[in-house]
Amino acid sequence: MSPVRIPATGDLPESILASLAAMRGEDARYREGRTWSMIYYAGDGHHQLVQAAHDLYLAENALNPMAFKSLRRMEVEVVQMASGLLNGPPSTVGCMTSGGTESLILAMKTWRDAGLSRRPWLRSPEVVLPRTAHPAFDKAAHMLGMRLRKAEIGADGRVDLHHVGRLIGRRTVLLVGSAPQYPHGTVDPIPQLGELAARHGIPLHVDACFGGFILPWLERLGVVMPAWDLRVPQVRSISADLHKYGYAAKGAAVLLYRRIEDMKHQFFVTTDWPGGIYASPGLAGTRPGGPIAAAWAALHAMGEQGYLERAGEAWQVAERLRAGVRAIPGLHLLGRPESPIVTWAADPGGPDVYAIADLLQAAGWSVDRQQAPASVHCSTNAVNLQAVDRYLADLAEAADRVRSNPSLSGEGQAAMYGMMAKVPVNGLVQREVRKVMEKMYGPDGAPPELGGEALPPWAGKALDLFDRARRRVRGGRG
């Protein structure tokens, strides 16, 4: 295929929009409630309002708050609303970011620099965090020259406090907990982590990227969970994503600090550029105005009542999912029921989770496969209400089919995931996935095959290697 070129003269708007609509038809069907991650949809009416707000600020640039004072004002108000929701004291400050990943990179940078300001001799500042913490921390550590010390989790998905205590050392500059962690939806024991942080004189960051805009409403609806936000006095910073349960447009999150003395380590200023003095709070230079305005609009449009209603509906979906999964022989739930996340796994000797996942995907569901242990993640939303019974019926049928056809485990993506769980060489999967990315982003880059029926290109070779390794082991023993 020859590469696409910029057209010599502009296409007609109608034809451009028609092409976009057609391309979009191939994507995950979130409006029908077929996605259980990535999409946080609060209905068509809300969507249109957020879209209109985004449109109004399409061209504006929050890089320079002097030129676009309205954007700075909205950012301040969004931070204040978030602080109110997360029980911040009056000293609370913060900023908007492009999403959870940027928030976490910035938090890591802030606490690295704060740590280095007290201990400039530190070579490799360390962060102690649960094994379930989001990979954005790994990405940040990689970029910032920091080292992660990962603590194990208990059977209920909460971080093991004894292990955390053992991992904290002289190089630790930050302790992290999640509210909730993504894989199982469990809220880490933040008050106890706070005590550990205080005992060792280190800051505690709570990653509430997922839960920041839904746990407060669930608590008000009576869902029991440990204190997890700025109520816990040792929590020094907290991240919460507006583009998840804030029902804002994508590209919006907040990062809050208990006080400006901490946040100051986040800022970047340079004064010797011929282009002038340059100061920036976050990672971006040019900052789109659309997501800021859309987030501001979303908070105003929802109001407490709107959020409470949406949270109640998401919880209803979660409760129905939990009850439904419990009723399916061979399956069980992971984690604690204190967030809108429902994660199911198979009993020992039960049906292969990944083979079930393949069947669900073939039936038109967007499936979020997890590992260690093999499980499937469902983030619930009001939009899933229409689909939850259908999902449970398809899940029960798929579990049944896999139980009577164990060979399905050797097909489709199940083969690859099953192999990954057993592969003796860790670096192999990493290398092969990197190759897939190089192919996807290479000159002939294309999206991966839809449907997921075909074995990914690298899995064949990996399976082969695995088989040979297994035979060698067997041979050695025999």
Ligand X SMILES: *Cc1c(COP(=O)(O)O)cnc(C)c1O
Task: Name the site residues for ligand X (rule: CB under 6 A).
Answer: 99-101, 104, 134, 136, 178, 182, 207, 209-210, 241
Query: In a 3-state reduction of DSSP, which class is residue 176?
Result: strand
Closer by beta carbon to ligand X, 183 or else 289: 183
CB contact at 8 A, 369 and 428: no
My answer on whether omega of the bond before 180 falls inside 30° of 0, hence cis, is yes
The Cα 436–Cα 319 span in angstroms is 38
337: nearest Cα among 116, 180, 109: 180
What is the enclosing helix (H) or strand (E) of 269? strand 268-270
- Cβ at position 281, least distance to ligand X in Å: 17
Which residues are CB-neighbours of 21 under 8 A, at least 6 positions away?
none
Taking the CA atoms of residue 266, residue 272, residue 277 and residue 282 in that order, the dihedral angle to the nearest 10 degrees is -20
The Cα 356–Cα 189 span in angstroms is 32
Closer by beta carbon to ligand X, 211 or else 412: 211
- First-to-last alpha carbon distance for the chain, in angstroms, is 52
Closer by beta carbon to ligand X, 54 or else 409: 54
CB contact at 8 A, 344 and 331: yes
Closer by beta carbon to ligand X, 338 or else 394: 338
Closer by beta carbon to ligand X, 182 or else 257: 182
Closer by beta carbon to ligand X, 214 or else 356: 214
Beta sheet of 341-346, edge-to-edge order: 331-334, 341-346, 375-379, 368-370
Closer by beta carbon to ligand X, 68 or else 257: 257
- Cβ at position 161, least distance to ligand X in Å: 19
- Cβ at position 236, least distance to ligand X in Å: 17
CB contact at 8 A, 126 and 147: yes
- Cβ at position 99, least distance to ligand X in Å: 3
Closer by beta carbon to ligand X, 142 or else 162: 142
The Cα 113–Cα 265 span in angstroms is 6
- Cβ at position 109, least distance to ligand X in Å: 15
Give me the amino acid identity at 35: T
CB contact at 8 A, 343 and 375: yes
Closer by beta carbon to ligand X, 186 or else 234: 186
The Cα 413–Cα 419 span in angstroms is 10
- Cβ at position 241, least distance to ligand X in Å: 5
- Cβ at position 395, least distance to ligand X in Å: 23
Q: Which residue is nearest to ligand X (CB)?
A: 100
Residue 285 CB coordination number (10 Å)? 9
User: What are all long-range contacts of 190-194, with beta carbons under 8 Å and residues at least 24 apart?
Assistant: 190/226, 190/227, 190/228, 190/229, 190/232, 190/235, 191/226, 191/227, 191/232, 192/161, 193/159, 193/161, 193/164, 193/234, 194/232, 194/233, 194/234, 194/235
Closer by beta carbon to ligand X, 101 or else 409: 101
- Cβ at position 182, least distance to ligand X in Å: 4
- Cβ at position 314, least distance to ligand X in Å: 14
- Cβ at position 469, least distance to ligand X in Å: 34
CB contact at 8 A, 237 and 256: yes
